[in-house]
Amino acid sequence: MGHTLKLEIPDELYEPLLQKAKATGQTLEELLAEWLSTAVQRLNNDPLLKLAGVFEAQVTDVSERHDSYIGQELAEELRGGQKS
């Protein structure tokens, strides 16, 4: 049994999606259903996702600030390991 979703998306997303659907001979609904299916399969098969919650750390915002932490470590490494 299928489910119906109603999405409101801006024109700048709708138009390219509609063009892609037409180019592939699909309806917009078929294209988006295919893309969602692929995304769910990738999530379910992500080997790193199996590690989520396995490790404990005092840092609790890595998912939101990972770029900042990587930048801090890179800057420290470029300074020769000296913390600023």
Give tens-digit pLDDT for 23-54: 999 999 999 999 999 999 888 887 877 777 77
Domain that holds residue 51: 11-78
Spatial separation of the C-alpha atoms in residues 9 and 31, rounded to whole Å: 15
Overall pTM surpassing 0.75 (yes/no): no
pLDDT at position 20 over 90: yes
Say if 48 falls within a structural domain. yes
Number of domains forming the structure of the chain = 1
Which run of H or of E encompasses 22? helix 11-23
Has residue 4 been placed in a domain? no
Q: Would you say residue 2 lies in a domain?
A: no
What three-state secondary structure class fits 40?
Answer: helix
Q: pLDDT at residue 82 above 70?
A: no
In a domain, 45, yes or no: yes
- The answer to whether position 32 is within a domain reads yes
- Residues 68-80: what's their mean pLDDT? 90
Q: Quick check: is 18 in a domain?
A: yes
